[in-house]
Each structure stands twice: as structure tokens, then as C-alpha cells.
A and B are shown apart, each in its own frame.
Chain A
């Protein structure tokens, strides 16, 4: 299968602090990759470099054939094809659920208002929130907000979805409903990169699990290998703490 994402020797510094110290990664079409590791290990930064929410300090990132580390690439066009879901949902509070979902497709003239609305309704049905189409985000629970956020990303028909700790800000009883929606996406063959602390989810749906620590990918393998038979000292000690 062709590679959707290729990362070569990616380095990222904030001021003098080097957060990513040389990342190499290839993600195939339809692959589900989970990034695990302790806080501050660079997981989120790596994810945010993939749609250039973080400027790339050094190295090469190619998404869908577009070298996004090149400043001349039209990043907006590339981003249309990469959905991103945030820990804190980041729904637009001044817009209704439907408007949240239709804003980008309409503004970017990918759809007219009518078809964008229909699409929003289909997506809301898919995430189980059709009855919330006309409410404002403030009236939703955390789990509902995150499902709307996923629907909002899907409205752009992305090939790739990035999830940045999508369940970390949720009350425990709402984690399941969001993971359920994500599992549907996996079943549909979406290429996904998920930064997560949900080891159960990673074990169940990931094709590959990457363990990051201190700016490096320390170990990678199938969920069976990483969770069943980790080789690196740091992986073992991290998994002992979280499992």
C-alpha cells in the first residue's frame, strides 16, 4: 500500500528546547497508528507537525505526496485532507452544531449550503447526534462535543485523521461513546494516527503502536508485541505504570 505519511529525521525545537529529536515514520494508507508514551515525550508535537500546526524545525514531512515541510506548499489545501480532533474539542461556541460542521465546506466553496447541511445531518446521524443539529456546543456534554468535533473533521472528507488525546478531557463514562465512533472510522478504513492514553483502545484497534519518550520513537510494533512483549527498558517501565 502507498504511504500516506512519510516523516524523515524530523526535529522540532521550542526556543532552545528540543522536543522532537529525529523522528522517522511511515504510515500506510488505511493504517491505524497509536502513539503512546509519557507526558512531554513529544507525541502531541509530532502529531501537530503532521498538519503543520507546529512549524517544522528540521527534517521532512510528506503527507499525501505533499512535502509540507516546504514553506511553499499550499498548506490549506493539504489540511483540507487531514482531519484533526483535539483534546479540548475546540468546537466554535458561537455556531450551532450544524454550522460548526458546515463552516469549512461552505467557506472553502466545496459544497453549497444545502448539500453541506445534508451532509452534516448524515454525519451527525453517524455519530448518534442527529437530534442535536441545531443546538450550541455549550449545551452538549464532553462526549457529545467530541463526537461533533469528529463529524466536523469528517465533513471535509479527509483521507487522514489525527487524534490528539481525544478522550483525555472526558469524564470516564463518556470515553466509550467517543471510542465507539473512532472504531467505526477504523472499520471504514480511515488512515488514523491517535495520540492516546487509552491502552485498551490501542491494543484493540491499532495496526501499529509507537512508544515515544524524550523526543524519540523508542519502540514500535504490533499491539501484541508492544503490550505483550516489550523489549525496551523504558517501554516496560511505562507500561508497568499505566496498565
Chain B
């Protein structure tokens, strides 16, 4: 019963926090897609220096925890760049720092997804496109990537779900998203701690379940007979 009381009482505040969580996720995923395409292309380019850049980036991101990345971006960069007049507060504060971190983080995973998708397209497709006289870039954008994206859709939505849950860790720098909102409410209401965190969990659960349904739907829609 406590659960429902908490849910009703704090619904408005959790709704605002949910919007923050979604905003953070969507903004980050959009930026991550751009990073993912760039570094994914670097990886399939066959050019040594580009591959090295992409691999270094991906290794650093995959080899360090998101929370530490958040600290480095938010506190570390502030300290180091302060002499140059840089401060996160002038750029939108913790939200921007969080979005930057999550973009960099998800971007590395997206790069791997995109590389996998491109490599999964039959190599005869590139040959056919090139033999028609299309330059590499056009062959990639008009022939390879549209097919690769279809194959990648389920993985991309999966990454969306992962990043959405990762926003929880970004609460450490004080963005009032779902988790942070839970922390603040719980701090003032120790006796209802279980109910509060269950409500937080429910919000994540609902949206993630919804997303995986979307993933299944999209997967069916984009598949075509070869």
C-alpha cells in the first residue's frame, strides 16, 4: 500500500524527473549515433591511422567505468580548463556534462554496432555499387548503410535501453533525473525507503519494457526477403 501512496504522492515529481531521464538519453543517443557512424566508418575504412584512432577511443571507453568517465568530464575538465575560462555552468551545467559523457560512452558502443552492421552487408553490394561508378562515399551512404541500419536496429534499440539505465549513474553529478529524484525523496522519508525505490524501479521498468517492444516491432517491420 505504501508503494501506491508514494506513487500517487510523488507522481508529479517523478514525471518531471522521467522527462529529464528521457531528455538525457535521447540527446546522448543522437550524439552517440553521430560518433558511432564516424568511428564505425573509421574502423571499416581499412586506413591504419583512422583505425588506430577509433580503436583507442573504443578501448578507453570500454575499459573504464561510466561513473569514472562522468567524474573526469564533469570535475576533471572543469579543473583543467578553468584557466581558459571554461565552466560547465555556462554551458548548461551538469545536464550538458552528463550528456557529453553519455554520448562519448554510448558512441563507442555504437561504433562497434555500426562496424558490425556494415561488415554484415554482403560484400557484393559494395562491388555492385562501385562497378556502377558510384564513389565509395555514395556507395556507403546509399547502398551499404541503409542495409546495415536495418540489421543494426535491434542492437541500437538495445543500446538505447542500456544508455537509458546508465543515466542513473550520471545522477552523481546532480542531475535531477529519476534516480537523483529518488535519492532526494528517500533522504527526507527514511521510513518509506523501499517503496520509494520500487517506484523508481517501476518507472525504469515501464519505459525499458516499452522500448524492447518497440525493438521487436521495428525488427519485424524492417526485415525483408533477400
Q: Are B224 and A136 touching (Cβ within 8 A)?
A: yes
CA distance A90 to B150 in the complex (A): 17
A205 interface hit (Cβ, 8 Å): no
With A92-B143, A103-B142, A107-B142 known as contacts, the answer to whether A86 contacts B124 (CB < 8 A) is yes
Chain A residues with CB under 8 Å of B131's CB are: 51, 53, 79, 82-84, 153
CB distance from B146 to the nearest CB of A (A): 5
CA distance A152 to B214 in the complex (A): 36
Binary interface encoding of chain A residues 149-163 relative to chain B, with 1 for a CB under 8 A from any of its CBs, else 0: 100110010000000
A76 interface hit (Cβ, 8 Å): yes
Chain B residues with CB under 8 Å of A189's CB are: none
> B141's closest neighbor in chain A, by CB?
A107
> A92's closest neighbor in chain B, by CB?
B143
CB distance from B145 to the nearest CB of A (A): 10
From residue 70 to 84 of chain A, which have CB atoms closer than 8 A to chain B?
A: 76-77, 79-84
Q: Are A86 and B147 touching (Cβ within 8 A)?
A: no
Binary interface encoding of chain B residues 168-192 relative to chain A, with 1 for a CB under 8 A from any of its CBs, else 0: 0000000000000000000000000
Binary interface encoding of chain A residues 133-167 relative to chain B, with 1 for a CB under 8 A from any of its CBs, else 0: 00010110000000001001100100000000000
> B133's closest neighbor in chain A, by CB?
A80
Chain B residues with CB under 8 Å of A149's CB are: 128
Chain A residues with CB under 8 Å of B138's CB are: 107-108
Q: Are B130 and A80 touching (Cβ within 8 A)?
A: no
Chain A residues with CB under 8 Å of B134's CB are: 76, 103-104, 107-108
From residue 82 to 101 of chain A, which have CB atoms closer than 8 A to chain B?
A: 82-84, 86, 88, 90-94
Chain B residues with CB under 8 Å of A77's CB are: 133
Q: Are B133 and A93 touching (Cβ within 8 A)?
A: no
B226 interface hit (Cβ, 8 Å): yes
Q: Are B132 and A53 touching (Cβ within 8 A)?
A: no
B2 interface hit (Cβ, 8 Å): no
From residue 95 to 140 of chain B, which have CB atoms closer than 8 A to chain A?
A: 122, 124-125, 127-135, 138
> A153's closest neighbor in chain B, by CB?
B132
Q: Are A104 and B133 touching (Cβ within 8 A)?
A: yes
Cβ contact of A136, chosen from B130, B146, B225, cutoff 8 A: B225
CB distance from B124 to the nearest CB of A (A): 4
Q: Are B224 and A138 touching (Cβ within 8 A)?
A: yes
CB distance from B148 to the nearest CB of A (A): 10
CA distance A93 to B144 in the complex (A): 10
Cβ contact of A138, chosen from B122, B124, B135, B226, cutoff 8 A: B226
Q: Are A94 and B224 touching (Cβ within 8 A)?
A: yes
CA distance A84 to B130 in the complex (A): 10
Chain B residues with CB under 8 Å of A51's CB are: 131
Chain B residues with CB under 8 Å of A107's CB are: 134, 138, 142
CA distance A81 to B127 in the complex (A): 15
Q: Are B132 and A94 touching (Cβ within 8 A)?
A: no
CA distance A92 to B135 in the complex (A): 16
CB distance from A228 to the nearest CB of B (A): 35
CB distance from A204 to the nearest CB of B (A): 26
> A77's closest neighbor in chain B, by CB?
B133
With A80-B133, A107-B142, A108-B133 known as contacts, the answer to whether A93 contacts B226 (CB < 8 A) is yes
CB distance from B140 to the nearest CB of A (A): 12
On B, residues with C-beta under 8 Å from A are 122, 124-125, 127-135, 138, 142-143, 146-147, 150, 224-226
Query: Can you list 8 A-B pairs with a CB-CB distance of less than 8 A?
Result: A77-B133, A80-B133, A92-B128, A103-B134, A104-B129, A108-B138, A138-B224, A153-B132
* Additional A-B contacts beyond A76-B134, A82-B131 (19; CB < 8 A): A53-B130, A53-B131, A81-B133, A84-B128, A86-B128, A92-B143, A92-B147, A93-B147, A94-B150, A103-B142, A104-B133, A107-B138, A107-B142, A108-B138, A138-B225, A138-B226, A139-B225, A149-B128, A156-B132
